[in-house]
Amino acid sequence: MTTPPPERAPWLTRYGPALIGACLVAGLLLAIGIQPTRQLLAQRERIAGMNAELGRTQKINKDLDRRIERLRDADYIEQRAREQIGLVYPGETAFVVMPPSEDSQARKRRARRHEIAPIPVELPEPSFVEGLLDFLGLGAL
């Protein structure tokens, strides 16, 4: 009686524990790497937001610097004084333009309501040839 040769252990039983261990180690390394990656992405997003805010602040500063320079100009200050407080030099005549009164505005609105609206006239659609001639600038010949 001959005994059959011993069967080889299947591949999984031979390399299974090593494969499971390698998967666990890879999963652990992946889990350890997720949090720093999230933090890095959050920091990049925060930096981008801060750069945008910095750009807006720099633009506001430039606008304010231009305004400061204008306020140091005597001609600009004179212009603003004439506009805002009605500065007048001796010998000049000041004119104040008043807005229309509420009564006159109400009368104009009432008159517009009672006007007869013109009847819209629909013109026929131009033909292809007329449109082409008009496009070429030869339509009024």
Tokens of 93: 């005549």
Residue 53 gets which letter from DSSP? H
pTM: 0.41
Most confidently modeled range among 18-27, 31-40, 89-98, 130-139? 18-27
Tokens of 85: 């407080």
Q: Which residues contact 61 (CB under 8 A, 6 or more apart)?
A: none
The whole-angstrom separation of Cα 127 and Cα 133 is: 10
For the cut 60, the answer to whether the pLDDT of residue 1 exceeds it is no
* Dihedrals phi, psi of 9, to nearest 5 degrees: -70, 140
The whole-angstrom separation of Cα 124 and Cα 131 is: 12
Q: How many Cα atoms are found within 13 Å in the side-chain-facing hemisphere of 126?
A: 9
For the cut 80, the answer to whether the pLDDT of residue 5 exceeds it is no
Tokens of 20: 């499971």
User: pLDDT of 52-99, one tens digit each?
Assistant: 999 999 999 999 999 999 999 999 998 888 888 878 888 888 877 788
- C-alpha angle 92-98-103 in degrees, rounded to nearest 5: 160
